[in-house]
Structures are given as structure tokens and as C-alpha cells.
Chains A and B, each alone.
Chain A
Amino acid sequence: MVLWRTVRAVPGWILALALGLVLLVLPWAGLDFSASRQIQLTLILALVVSGLNLSLGYAGELALGQAAMYASGAYIAGLLSKAGHTDILVQLLVAGLGALAVGVVTGIPGLRLGSWSLAMTSFFLVLLVPDVLAIFPRATGGRNGLSGIQSPTLFGTLLDGTGFYLVISVVAILWFAVLRNIVTSRHGIALRVLKQSPVLAASTGISVFRMKLLAYALGAIPAGLAGALFANLDLYVSPEAFSFTFATTVLSASILGGSASVYGALVGAAVMQFGPNQSSGFQQYALVFTGVFLVVGGVLLTGGLARVCRVLVTRLDRMAQPEVNTVATGTGPAPNIPPYKGATLRIRDVSKAFGGNQALKDVSLEALPGTVTALIGPNGSGKTTLLNMVCGFYRTDSGEITLDGAPLHGLTSDGVARAGVARTFQTPNIPAGVTVLEAVASGRYTGHRTSVLAAVLRTPRFRRVRHEDLREAERMLALVGLDHLRDTEAVSLPLGMRRLLEVARALIDAPGVLLLDEAASGLDEHEVERLASLIRQIRDAGGTVVLVEHNFRLVLALADDIAVLAHGQLITTGPPEAIERDPRVLSEYLGVDPAPTAAHTSTDRMTGAATSGENT
């Protein structure tokens, strides 16, 4: 266990780097030709797989067109070489950019579709490769393949076998370093947010389409690089290398290795390369073997080998440090929220109909900074519809919604979030595979921007923003009393803590207005108390809070203003003391009129109705 703790104390990237170094010195350790070739093919496959992982594992899109980008990279490199540009660096650069272009162009229509349609159109793209090549037979050699590629050079020097081995290894190491830098950065977390739920992503201000396109297009780069390397490995490219079979190999490697992991691509590629592909001497058995392999792997591994490793690591961690505390909430006194200026949310005469059903009719509401406004009403009264309209998920039929005078209606849902509307969800919506701290920090993603390139290069600006992200997130965690759990996986928290985490995430960028959707449901009394004091703190700091809540007691205790909806209309608004006594509110909730005389007559009417029912 001491040994394990020492191992764990070493940052993960050092282990990866060490593996990379081993890879680089292997040629001098008596690596024979066939093993060397296997390693090179594995690395090339791993590059393509890691591109797929970006879209499938991180952004959650089943986009399988990497084989087409791989092909474009290979042909670009091959044609460059035939035209005399044999320098491998030039080829890699052009192939990478070419694949990126293919990714963007094919991604735009494909990503609009999503799910199965996307999977199929991207698979179809792979099937088109030989046809596209056949259309330009003179340039590409058509179905016969492209031959006559020159041996690659580096700065004018001809590369021998070992030299090219090193080139492939260095490219792979660099790409995985880049990938790691992206995935562990705020962009990687934003991708996981997107994968968890597009609604969540939009609610944190992320443009869903642009983020998907970013993942898909970025994933094209390693495929293009891999293509260029592949063309120079065999000095021959044929359409058969980019067939359906190759696409399925990539998909299988991705899923077996674990799509949502950086190095899973490498493991998956190695498994596929040294496993089924090895037995190519017996073509038919190879297919049977691959098939069985995929079935067994798919049944046994949810999340791939990477997940198995992660579970193992977590278990060993727990054995090594049994004292980790995941039960108690709160250490020490919660810090105060520094004063900030919330915005005025104004809803004026908003109406919405779904088909013939009038969900909301002329609803007006105002939420001021430094106050808590509660929205209550029975099921189906239109609370959720109103919330969704504020957040931009539904269009208003008429009326306007403004934040400090600036219109929100007409903005996209991510635009609304960027304008300063933050929310929590009825069912906590928290991305898988991130720590509590990262989940909270993701609330700052669109408010404080850095580019992907900055993340890859770890520029000073990126470091500064990341530092602020983490500092702010820690402050928020201390505020909600989860600071001792900062490195725990966020989704593993019990419900009450996940709700508090959502509040922290929504609050981190000092939103103009904070919408809490049933934040108290499912909490025990202690947790409700904690939530209530947190909401009071936000209000006292000057924030604008809107509560959509069932817990009547909490609403009465917290709200400055209560708006009551029924059948899509606002029946009354006022302070708790007035709402509590309002006969219409009681009648909406209870169906009874509290005035005794009225109760009598109406009960008589009802009983009469039931009696007449019996007589029919």
C-alpha cells in the first residue's frame, strides 16, 4: 500500500511520458522488423481512434467518419510526395489541415442530425471513399491505389526505417500530449457537460452545435496525421485500407479501450492490432475471432478497459487511504458571499400555447436584485413552461422577457445563459467523469474564455484563467459546505450534495438571476436548512433569486414575493403573509374554500353531483 501511495503521488502524465520514452528507445533494444511494424500500425490506429474518442467519448456523438479523414490525409500526403514534396513535416501539416477541412465540411450537415442518423451518414461517408477516388482515377490511381510515393525526408535527409519509426512515435506522443491538455482543461470538461446533456450545456452558455463541431473537427486532425504517416509507411495507398472494415476496427478499438479516456485509444488500438488483426494469415478465422471478441468485449465492458482501470485505481486508493471522509457536510464556518449586483428579471404579458392547449396566458412577473421571488402552483399550472421560456428553450407566443432591460426572448438558450441567467435542475444534471471541483468550475466556461490552442500550449493566459476557475470553485464549495469533497467524482455524491453542487455551479459566475427549480425536493431537513441559509446569503449579497418550489414551508420562510400560477394564469402575487391567507391560493391547492359557508354550499353541490351520478 505504501508502494501504491508512492505510485499515485506521481502525476499521471509522467507515467505516460515514461512510456513514450520507452517507445523511443525500443529500436536500440533489439526490436525486430515485424514487431516494429506492429507498433507503428498500432500508433497510427491509435491516432485515428483518439480522434473518434473526442466526438464519441467526450462529446457523446456517434460520428464515425474518421476513416474518411484518415483516407484524405493519406491521399494528400501521397500526392504531395509524388509532386516532390517529400518532407514529412510539410505532409503532416497539409494532411492535418486537409482532414480538418473534410471534418468541418462533413460535420456541419451531419451534426445537425444527431444520434443514429449521424452514425449512419458518417458511416456512409466511409463507404464513399472508393467512389470519390474512382472519380479522379488519374490523380488517385482509382481502385488500383496510389503507387509511386517517394520515401519521406526530414529537413532534406532521407528517413530510414528506424528514423520513420521515431517520426511516428514522436507524432503520436505529441498528439496524445495535446489531447491530454485539451481533455484535462476546461474545454474537456465542457465537452463532458455537453455529453451529459445538451440542455445542461446550453444552460451554462455553451453553444451545443459549435461545441459538437469543435470536437468532431478536432478529431479529424489526428486522423489526417495518421493518414499521412500510413502513406509513408508503405509508400502505397489503396482504397481498401479505408473500407468499412477499417471503420469498424476503429469503433471497436475505441469502445474496448474506453471512449471517454485519453490513453484508452492506445490500449484499444493495441488490442485490435495485436489481437484480431494479427491472425490475418487465417482470414476467415480472423473474422470469426473479431466477431466473438466484439460481442464478449461489448457485453462485459461498459466504458471499456479504461473504466475497469479507473475502478481498480479508485479501489486501491480507498484501500490506501481509508480515512477519506465522504459523509459529513461542511468543515468550519461557511465564508460570506461578497456583495454583487443581481439583475432585474421582468416578464411581461407572456403567453404560450402548445397546439390548442394554452399553457400560459398573459403572465407578468418581476424579480428584483436582493430579493427572493417564489413561483408556486399545482402540477400543470405552467411553472416549468415559464421557466423554460425564460431560459430560451421555448419561444414566447407574445409578451416579453427582459433582464435589466435587455430582451431575453428571441435569444437561444445558450445566449440566455451568457446574458446572465443561471439555473439548477429538478433532477440534478451533473456530467460523469469529472470531480466536484471541476463540475463547479464548469459554470465559468463561457464567462471567462480561453481558446483551445491556449489550452494545448498551456499559455500564461490559460494558466491564469484556470487558476481563477479553481480558486473560485473552491470558494463556492466552501460556501455550500462541500470543500472537503473537491476531488470526489461529482456524480457519486448523494442527492442532497448534488443539489448543493448545482447551486454552487450556477452561482460561481455571479449570475444576474439564479433560477432554482425544485431545489429542495428530496433533501432531508438538515439539507433544506443549509439550502435556505445559502439562498438567504445570496439575497443579502444582492443577488436575484427565483425559486420554483413545492415545499410550501420553505417558500413561506424564504420568499420576499410569491407568485401563484394556476391553469397558466397568475392568480396572485404578494408577500408570504398575504399569500398564506389568500382564499384563492387555498382553493387552488386544496380545492376547498376556507370560508365555512362557502365550503358548505360547494360540498353540497359536489355531493349532489356524485348522487346524481349514482342514479344514472
Chain B
Amino acid sequence: MTTQQTDEPILRVRNLGTGYGDLRVVWDVSFDVWPGRLTVLLGRNGAGKTTTLRAVSGLNKATAGSVELGGRDITKAAAHTRVRQGMAYVQEGKRVFHAQTVEQNLLLGGYTRRLKRTELRQEAERMYELFPVLGDKRSLLAGTMSGGQQQMLAIAQAMMAGPRLLMLDEPSGGLAPVIVNEVMERVGLLKETGIGILLVEQAVEASIAVADHVTVLDMGRVVLASAADDLDNLQDAYFGRTPAQGSASRDS
């Protein structure tokens, strides 16, 4: 996988702590995302992955630690201003706007860019090239599409903002295995455009296949951080004990 590698991470998360009210879910999480590379956050459910993304995106307040985007401290910035600064977040559950057409969803994705209408449409055309399934359905209501198509739309909508960092929360959730592969394939392609990608997944194998860096969370803490091609202790990290037989996965 050829990627343009720079040493400066686009996203730098340090000692992040967050939660919901007095329920603290994330205790001390640090990781980086580099331009043109993909970092995947793994962990069983309840490990704090989604909550971490929510804090990075500004939906949840960080109670400790810091978040830097492109060298700029954004720990206290409002969620909508982070979008303007180049952060795009695709939430879990394919949250596109069901009552709007595919095209309208895409145009709304470019809300922060202050483009002329024709320029915005050109951007949308680019997305149709990247995600051909959407091109045929541009005037359909998003709510009538299949799960996989909605997921593609959600990603395309986020890309319309022209982000430097794309965060994806379980793009494979609730999708058939074949579709998961297709979605992951697209995610791999997006990496080639030079943006940094932060992926949260439960489909471990499919996501490791496209990842450059792996961070595993458990109980709101980082239990494993390594390059994607050096993963001996994955099952250990998952279950917190010696695996019953052999090691979990050996990436090629």
C-alpha cells in the first residue's frame, strides 16, 4: 500500500477522558492519525470506542486530555466548528437524512464550504464517481435505500465537506459480509486521496486489512497500540486473558 507519509499527525489525541454525565466511559486514551493513513480503533462493545469518537468530534465534552487537529488544539471547540476545520464524522447507524434525496444529502454535506451552487454540484458529481451506486439514485429519498447504500451515502456526505480527517464509526454494522468488503474497499480508496482516516470497527479482520495502525481499547483505556502488520496479542487484548489456543491473528 503506497501512501504519502508525513511525520506530523493530522489528529493527535492525548490522555482523553470523557463520558456521559457522571458515567465515565473513557479514562485515558491516546492515539494519532496521519494523513493518507488509516488508524483503526478496535475493542469489544462497551469498550469506549464510540464515546472516544464523540469526544473527538465535539459531541461529548472531554473531561481530561486534549485533541489536536492539524496541530491546532480543538479540545474545547464546538462540534460544528470542527467540521469547518476539516473534521468529518460518520456516526454509527447510517444516520443520513431519510426525508431528503441522495442529492440533497450530498449538497447538505457541503454546508460549511461556502461554494457556489454549480461548484457544489461538481463536488457531488465527484462523489457519484467515487460511489457509483449513488449516481443512479440521486433523486431517491435516502430513507428508501438499502443499508449498504445508506452507508455509502453517509460517507460521501461527510466527504462533501472536504475533510482532512474522516472518522467512521462501524461502517460495517448491520451489513452483509459482501457489502462490508465493498464498503471497506471504498474506505481504502479514500485513503489514497491523502486524508487521514480513523475507523472504529467490530469487524476486526476486514478493518485490519485496510489499516495502517491499530489501537485496541478495553474498559475505556488503550490496551494495545501497534502497527497493523505486527499484531500478536490481539486476542489477549480482547479477552484480557491467555487465549485458549494459539494466537489470534497474524496479518500477512
Q: Do chains A and B touch in the complex (CB under 8 A)?
A: yes
Residues of A in contact with B (beta carbons under 8 Å apart): 378-380, 494-495, 518, 521-522, 550-553, 580-581, 586, 589-592, 594-596, 599-600, 602-604, 606-607, 609-610, 612-614, 616
Q: In the assembly, what is the distance between CA of A609 and CA of B181, in Å?
A: 7
Taking a contact as CB atoms closer than 8 A, the residue among B23, B181, B209 that contacts A495 in the complex is: B23
Q: Quick one: given A589-B44, A591-B204, A594-B243, are A606 and B248 in contact (CB under 8 Å)?
A: no
In this complex, what residue of A is CB-closest to B176?
A: A567
How many pairs of residues, A versus B, come closer than 8 Å at their CB atoms? Answer: 99
Can you name 26 A-B residue pairings with CB atoms under 8 Å? A378-B45, A494-B22, A518-B46, A522-B24, A550-B44, A552-B44, A552-B239, A589-B44, A589-B238, A590-B204, A590-B235, A590-B238, A590-B248, A591-B205, A592-B235, A594-B245, A594-B248, A599-B249, A599-B250, A603-B205, A603-B252, A606-B205, A609-B185, A614-B1, A614-B189, A614-B192
Q: Quick one: given A495-B23, A591-B205, are A613 and B189 in contact (CB under 8 Å)?
A: yes
Q: Which residues on A sit within 8 Å (CB–CB) of B244?
A: 580-581, 594
Q: Which residues on A sit within 8 Å (CB–CB) of B245?
A: 581, 594
Residues of B in contact with A (beta carbons under 8 Å apart): 1, 22-25, 44-46, 170, 173-174, 181, 184-186, 188-189, 192, 202-206, 209-210, 234-235, 238-241, 243-246, 248-252
Given contacts A495-B22, A603-B251, 13 further A-B pairs with CB under 8 A are A522-B25, A590-B205, A591-B204, A591-B205, A596-B250, A599-B249, A603-B205, A603-B209, A603-B252, A610-B210, A614-B1, A614-B188, A614-B192
Q: Quick one: given A550-B44, A589-B238, are A594 and B22 in contact (CB under 8 Å)?
A: no
Q: In the assembly, what is the distance between CA of A552 and CA of B239, in Å?
A: 7
CB distance from B240 to the nearest CB of A (A): 6
Q: In the assembly, what is the distance between CA of A18 and CA of B31, in Å?
A: 65
CB distance from B139 to the nearest CB of A (A): 22
Q: Which residues on A sit within 8 Å (CB–CB) of B251?
A: 603
Q: Quick one: given A521-B46, A522-B23, A580-B244, are A379 and B185 in contact (CB under 8 Å)?
A: no
In this complex, what residue of A is CB-closest to B181?
A: A609
Taking a contact as CB atoms closer than 8 A, the residue among A522, A594, A614 that contacts B235 in the complex is: A594
Q: Which residues on A sit within 8 Å (CB–CB) of B173?
A: 379-380
CB distance from A68 to the nearest CB of B (A): 38
Are the CB atoms of B209 and A607 closer together than 8 Å? yes
CB distance from A321 to the nearest CB of B (A): 24
Are the CB atoms of A550 and B45 closer together than 8 Å? yes
Are the CB atoms of B22 and A590 closer together than 8 Å? no
Q: In the assembly, what is the distance between CA of A599 and CA of B234, in Å?
A: 13
Q: In the assembly, what is the distance between CA of A607 and CA of B185, in Å?
A: 10
CB distance from A496 to the nearest CB of B (A): 10
Q: In the assembly, what is the distance between CA of A495 and CA of B25, in Å?
A: 12
Q: Which residues on A sit within 8 Å (CB–CB) of B192?
A: 614
CB distance from B98 to the nearest CB of A (A): 13
CB distance from B47 to the nearest CB of A (A): 8
4 cross-chain pairs, A with B, having the tightest CB-CB distances, nearest first: A613-B185, A550-B46, A591-B204, A606-B209
Q: In the assembly, what is the distance between CA of A194 and CA of B65, in Å?
A: 40
CB distance from A81 to the nearest CB of B (A): 57
Are the CB atoms of A602 and B205 closer together than 8 Å? yes
Q: Which residues on B sit within 8 Å (CB–CB) of A378?
A: 45, 202
CB distance from A550 to the nearest CB of B (A): 4
Are the CB atoms of A379 and B202 closer together than 8 Å? yes
Q: In the assembly, what is the distance between CA of A589 and CA of B235, in Å?
A: 10
Q: In the assembly, what is the distance between CA of A604 and CA of B250, in Å?
A: 11
Q: Kindly name the residue among A494, A580, A589 whose own CB sees the greatest number of chain B CB atoms within 10 A.
A: A589
Q: Which residues on B sit within 8 Å (CB–CB) of A614?
A: 1, 188-189, 192
In this complex, what residue of A is CB-closest to B147?
A: A357
Are the CB atoms of A379 and B23 closer together than 8 Å? no
Q: Kindly name the residue among A379, A600, A604 whose own CB sees the greatest number of chain B CB atoms within 10 A.
A: A379
Q: Quick one: given A495-B23, A610-B184, are A553 and B240 in contact (CB under 8 Å)?
A: yes
CB distance from A527 to the nearest CB of B (A): 12
Q: In the assembly, what is the distance between CA of A146 and CA of B168, in Å?
A: 70
CB distance from A591 to the nearest CB of B (A): 4
Q: Which residues on A sit within 8 Å (CB–CB) of B24?
A: 522
In this complex, what residue of A is CB-closest to B173?
A: A380
Q: Which residues on B sit within 8 Å (CB–CB) of A594?
A: 235, 243-246, 248
Q: Which residues on A sit within 8 Å (CB–CB) of B25?
A: 522
Are the CB atoms of B252 and A607 closer together than 8 Å? yes
In this complex, what residue of A is CB-closest to B47?
A: A550
Q: In the assembly, what is the distance between CA of A613 and CA of B243, in Å?
A: 33
